[in-house]
Amino acid sequence: MAALPDAESPDRKLPFNESVVYAGVSLPVYMVMSQLPLYGIKFLESSDRLDSLRVVMASNRGTLTELGIIPILTYVRYTYQNHKRRSTVLLLLAVLLAATQALILAFTGLDGNLNDTGVVGCGLLTLQLVLSSTVIMLMDGLMQKDYVLGSEINTFVASNVCQTAFWKFMTFYSVPTYRGSEYEGAIISIFHLIGSCSNKIRELKDAFYHPGLPNAMNAIATISMFALITYLLKFRVELSIKSNRMRSQRAYYPIRLFYTSGMPLMLQSALFFNVFVGILLVFYLL
Q: What is the pLDDT of residues 179-188, one digit of tens each?
A: 677 788 888 8
CATH entry 3.20.20.140 includes domain 16-150+263-285: no
| Mean pLDDT computed over 134-144 | 83
- Indicate if the pLDDT at residue 152 is higher than 70: no
Q: What is the DSSP letter of 82?
A: T
Looking at residue 115, its pLDDT comes to 62
Question: How much is the pTM?
Answer: 0.78
- Indicate if the pLDDT at residue 173 is higher than 70: yes
- Indicate if the pLDDT at residue 83 is higher than 50: no
- Indicate if the pLDDT at residue 127 is higher than 80: yes
Three-state secondary-structure class, residue 147? coil
Cα distances from 19 to residues 14, 23, 72, 73, 137, in angstroms, run 6, 6, 22, 24, 18
- Indicate if the pLDDT at residue 76 is higher than 60: no
Q: What is the pLDDT of residues 188-237, one digit of tens each?
A: 888 877 777 777 777 777 777 777 788 888 888 888 988 998 888 888 88
Task: Say which amino acid occupies 122.
Answer: C
Looking at residue 80, its pLDDT comes to 46
